[in-house]
Structure 1
Amino acid sequence: MPTPTLEEIRADITDIVHRVACLPVEDIDPDRDLMNDLDIDSLSMVEITVTAEDRYGVKLPDDTLDDLPTLNHVAAYIHGELA
């Protein structure tokens, strides 16, 4: 199975955020801070992180909220780990 592109990962993470945080897809700006700008609470962030880790088999940093604050950061990290 080929490595997913950054765009595919970004779309998938957007869908995860949409489902977990119950946000409309059109409100999920990949450059906005997930917690501070999109008001995603810490429990939802844990669920988003675990779902992404399970989906891609990649361990996200324990300080994901600090190190990877936006959807684009999360997608880029996962893409880099899979490359």
Structure 2
Amino acid sequence: MTNEVIFEKVQEILMDQFDLEASEVEMTTNMAEDIDADSLDLFEVLNRVEDDFDIKLEATENVATVEDLVAKIAEQVNK
């Protein structure tokens, strides 16, 4: 699975979770600073990512940006 495909799915999840437009979710988007996601929001996003991609991520994963999340997903999906 390519990073582009993963990004598109993550973008959909974040748009749904935070009521955002596609233009507001880019690879450089910072979860806390740009979309005001707190730890509970991030936990919910990680749970949805796990379900949608059928992977397991640690709750302690260092995910600050969308790019970080895409990289973590790619690492798991492409094992």
Q: Which TM-score band (shorter chain)?
A: 0.7 to 0.9
- In structure 1, what residue type is equivalent to 2:35? L
RMSD: 1.4
How far apart, in 2, do the equivalents of 1:57 and 1:73 lie? 18
Note if 1:50 corresponds to 2:47.
yes
For 1:25-65, what per-residue CA distance to the aligned partner results, in whole angstroms no more than 9, with x for missing partners? 1111221211122212333222211110011121122223x
1:60-79 aligned within 5 A: 60-64=57-61, 67-79=62-74
Q: Match of 2:58, SS?
A: coil
Q: Which runs of 5+ in 2 are unaligned?
A: none
Length-normalised TM-score, structure 1: 0.82
Deviation at 1:9, TM superposition (A): 0.4
Q: Match of 2:31, SS?
A: coil
Counterpart pick for 2:12 among 12, 15, 34? 15
Alignment length, in residue pairs? 78
Deviation at 1:75, TM superposition (A): 0.9
- In structure 2, what residue type is equivalent to 1:70? T
